[in-house]
Structure 1
Amino acid sequence: MPSVSDRLPTFPWDRLEPYKTTAARHPDGIVDLSVGTPVDPVPPLIRQALTEAADTPGYPTVWGTRELRDALTGWCERRLGARGMTERNVLPVVGSKELVAWLPTQLGLGPGDRVAFPRLAYPTYEVGARLARAEYVAYDDPLELDPAGLKLLWLNSPSNPTGQVLPAEKLRAVVAWARERGVLVLSDECYLELGWEADPVSVLHPDVCGGSHEGIVAVHSLSKRSNLAGYRAAFIAGDAAVLGELLQIRKHGGMMTPAPVQAATVVALGDDTHVAAQRDRYRARRAALRGALEAAGFRIEHSEASLYLWATRDESCWKTVGGLADQGILVAPGDFYGPAGESHVRVALTATDERVNAAVSRLKG
């Protein structure tokens, strides 16, 4: 049988293992600022909802309970400013990474079709194209893309890894450009609630989409805002025709969000208090790390939102990774996100206050 994995690049995080070993040798232990996995507790009200829904022996549905669909549409209208949302405009998914990786395949893309994504980007956009045997292209400006064969255009604002936020006028121009050419826009907005020096806007906002969901789908996750990475709680929202097709495919594939996770998601989306508290934690860690990095000679670029600082000392990213590993600090090399990141590193804010303070102390020497 042919090996599907042969279509894929080397899993990037495997290349970081030797540096992780070096950082772990530090007398005071490693400070891991690489992957960006949440470390703070799941809010009690969400854990309670999960526990209370634990006795659910039957199969869940792919499109979710009525309560979940209402929670998703309500949150999109309240938080994103979306209008005219119905249950046909939302669909729960089993974590956003699964959706990103398999979306081109589920939409029927293949050889001759093209998928576009930012030049500095989450690697799974490319993986999704490769799994579908589609072609892929990285862009600096989506408005300068050749539309020939282009079927799927990824936006990512706030960006992973750079934290850059696209203004509403840029998003509006891209959506209009794509609609004129029959290109589906997928907007990865998983960090939208973590704006620091900018206020991120969704493609579902009327100022961007003109009140129509045609040709646009937004991707959202509860991993960062609610510390639910372990729950695999995410959803997509937008064009009802696209979501309806995905629903049929995912029903056949059994891609069901577990019933207890659906119940927990309802509660998580209905509560803003825990989100504000988590934002405050990240804001304090961001300020401490940014100051320490700048004092150590780093320049921070973009980073106006998301859970990362995009930092450079104008040297090879791997030289930076090695130097920080010697101090017991592990960060992600920028070239994980494309060759354009070869002189940057991504520094995650997802470490406990104690570990962040340890990193700050080491950086300041």
Structure 2
Amino acid sequence: MSAVSSRLPVFPWDKLEPYKATAAAHPDGIVDLSVGTPVDPVPALIQRALVEAADSPGYPTVWGTPALRDALTGWVERRLGARGVTHANVLPVVGSKELVAWLPTQLGLGAGDRVAFPRLAYPTYEVGARLCGAEPVPYDDPTQLDPAGLKLLWLNSPSNPTGAVLAPEELTRIVAWAREHGVLLFSDECYLELGWEAEPVSVLHPDVCGGSYDGIVAVHSLSKRSNLAGYRAAFLAGDQAVLGELLKIRKHGGMMTPAPVQAATVAALGDDTHVREQRERYAARRSALRAALEAHGFRIDHSEASLYLWSTRDEPCWDTVAHLAELGILVAPGDFYGPAGERHVRVALTATDERVEAAVKRLG
């Protein structure tokens, strides 16, 4: 059996273990601001929906219940400003990471094909290309790429790790270029509801896509906005031809969102109150951490949205990781997201108020 893993980079988080041990040895315990996993409770109305659907002995469907599809189309129109969204324009997936990693394979890409993604980016875009044998292509401006052999273009706004937001006119320009050259565009918008100093816009907004979803798909997740990382709840919206093909493939693969999670997703997308409350928690943590980091000598770049502060002391990122680990604070080195991040660290806002307060004191 060939080792498919040999195509892949070393799993980055394993390299952080020694620094995690150092931070954990702090007398007051570790403040883990590295992975970005939610720590706040799952909202009660979502838990209730999950429990009420717990008696689900039959197989769920890959496309989801009609109620779920109604919830997806309704949210996409209400929150993203999209128009004329039908059930054919949406598809639930088993968490967005699964989708990102296996999308090139499910699209039938392979040797000779190219998959492009931002130069500073979530590592799974590259992993997805390598899993199917395609060529990973990092970019600064996608419209400067050679479109020959380019089959999939990833956008990510708001960005992980930098928190940068693409302006509507920039999105419009990129969508037009992708359509002109027949390049399928997937836009990872999982942090769209977490804009702080900018208002993120979806590629599905009519001002960006011209009211047509041809050649474009948006990826959304409930992990961060609803604290549902443990539920693996996410979905796609956009080009019905692309989603129809993915639906056929995913049926064969049995890639089904569990029925209780489908019910929980309906509840989550139908309620804006818990999203607003969670935003307020993150806003307070962001303000406290940003002020403490800047007072400690850091510069915060970009970071106008998402759940991270893209921070630098103008030194190699692993020196910064080591310095903060001695204070009992664990962060992610910027080179996890590409060589261009080698002098930054990513500081997550996903810690309890008590742990954030501890970090602020240690930075003081």
Give the TM-score range, shorter chain: over 0.9
Match in the other structure for 2:263: 263
Match in the other structure for 2:143: 143
Spell out structure 1 runs of 4+ moving beyond 4 A: none
Match in the other structure for 1:107: 107
- RMSD of the alignment, in Å? 0.3
Query: Quick one: which amino acid aligns to residue 54 of structure 1?
Result: A
Q: Which runs of 5+ in 2 are unaligned?
A: none
Match in the other structure for 2:191: 191
For 1:17 and 1:237, the matched residues in 2 are separated by 37
Moved more, 262-271 or 136-145: 136-145
SS class of match (1:255): coil
For 2:79 and 2:329, the matched residues in 1 are separated by 36
CA deviations 1:265-321 (Å, max 9, x no partner) are 000000000000000000000000000000000000000000000000000000000
For 1:3 and 1:149, the matched residues in 2 are separated by 26
How far apart are 1:70 and its partner, in Å?
0.3
SS class of match (1:191): coil
Match in the other structure for 1:331: 331
CA deviations 1:133-152 (Å, max 9, x no partner) are 00011000111111110000
CA deviations 1:111-138 (Å, max 9, x no partner) are 0000000000000000000001000110
For 1:132 and 1:216, the matched residues in 2 are separated by 21
For 2:207 and 2:326, the matched residues in 1 are separated by 48
Match in the other structure for 1:219: 219
Query: Quick one: which amino acid aligns to residue 286 of structure 2?
Result: R
CA deviations 1:163-210 (Å, max 9, x no partner) are 000000000000000001000000000000000000000000001000
Query: Quick one: which amino acid aligns to residue 213 of structure 1?
Result: Y
Match in the other structure for 1:125: 125
For 1:54 and 1:231, the matched residues in 2 are separated by 13
Query: Quick one: which amino acid aligns to residue 249 of structure 1?
Result: I
Check if 1:75 corresponds to 2:71: no
Query: Quick one: which amino acid aligns to residue 34 of structure 2?
Result: S
Match in the other structure for 2:32: 32
Query: Quick one: which amino acid aligns to residue 268 of structure 2?
Result: A
For 1:197 and 1:143, the matched residues in 2 are separated by 26
SS class of match (1:359): helix
CA deviations 1:94-116 (Å, max 9, x no partner) are 00000000000000000000000
For 2:348 and 2:146, the matched residues in 1 are separated by 34
For 1:122 and 1:145, the matched residues in 2 are separated by 19
Check if 1:236 corresponds to 2:250: no
For 1:143 and 1:111, the matched residues in 2 are separated by 23
Structure 2 counterparts to residues 1-365 of structure 1, below 5 A: 1-364=1-364
The TM-score with structure 2 as length reference comes to 1.00
For 2:3 and 2:312, the matched residues in 1 are separated by 38
For 1:116 and 1:83, the matched residues in 2 are separated by 28
Q: Which runs of 5+ in 1 are unaligned?
A: none
Query: Quick one: which amino acid aligns to residue 252 of structure 1?
Result: H
SS class of match (1:56): coil
For 2:56 and 2:177, the matched residues in 1 are separated by 46
For 1:120 and 1:180, the matched residues in 2 are separated by 25
CA deviations 1:224-273 (Å, max 9, x no partner) are 00000000000000000000000000000000000000000000000000
SS class of match (2:177): helix
